Structure 1
Amino acid sequence: MNKELEHKFVTELQDNQNIVHKVCTLYTNDRDSHNDLFQEITIQLWKAYPKFRGDAKFSTWMYRVALNTAITLYRKNKRRIDTSDYESIIFKIKADEYDETEELQLKLMYKAVKQLNDVDKALVFLYLEDKNYTEISETLGITEVNARVKMNRIKTKLRTILNP
Structure 2
Amino acid sequence: MDKQSAIYTAFLKELETHKGIIYKISYSFCKTKADCQDLTQEIIIKLWQSFGTYRSFSKTSTWIYRVSLNTAISFYRKEKTRNRIITTTHDSLLQLAEAAPAANRETDEKIAYLHQFLLALKEMDRALMILYLEGKALKEIAEIMGISPTNVSTKINRIKVVLKERFSKLNF
- With the length of structure 2 as denominator, give the TM-score of the two structures: 0.87
CA deviations over 1:71-115 (Å, ceiling 9, x no partner): 0110111121433213445979xx79x711211111011111111
Q: 1:21 is matched with which residue?
A: 23
CA deviations over 1:104-134 (Å, ceiling 9, x no partner): 1110111111111000000000001110001
After TM superposition, what 4+ stretches of structure 1 lie above 6 angstroms from structure 2? none
CA contact (8 A) 1:44 1:65 kept: yes
Instruction: Give matches, 1:80-159, under 5 Å.
Output: 80=83, 81-89=85-93, 99-159=104-164
Give, in angstroms, the shift of residue 13 of structure 1.
0.3
User: 1:72 is matched with which residue: 64, 71, 74?
Assistant: 74
CA contact (8 A) 1:64 1:140 kept: yes
CA contact (8 A) 2:26 2:40 kept: yes
The whole-number CA distance in structure 1 between the counterparts of 2:128 and 2:87 is 26
Q: Secondary structure at the match of 1:83?
A: coil
CA deviations over 1:9-50 (Å, ceiling 9, x no partner): 101101111111110111111111111000000000000111
User: 2:64 is matched with which residue: 62, 65, 78?
Assistant: 62
Q: 1:49 is matched with which residue?
A: 51
Q: Secondary structure at the match of 2:52?
A: helix
The whole-number CA distance in structure 2 between the counterparts of 1:102 and 1:56 is 36
AA in 1 matched with 2:15: L
Q: Secondary structure at the match of 1:51?
A: coil
The whole-number CA distance in structure 2 between the counterparts of 1:139 and 1:148 is 14
Count of residues in correspondence between the two structures: 161
What are the ranges of 5 or more consecutive residues in structure 2 without an aligned counterpart? none
What are the ranges of 5 or more consecutive residues in structure 1 without an aligned counterpart? none
CA contact (8 A) 2:90 2:113 kept: no
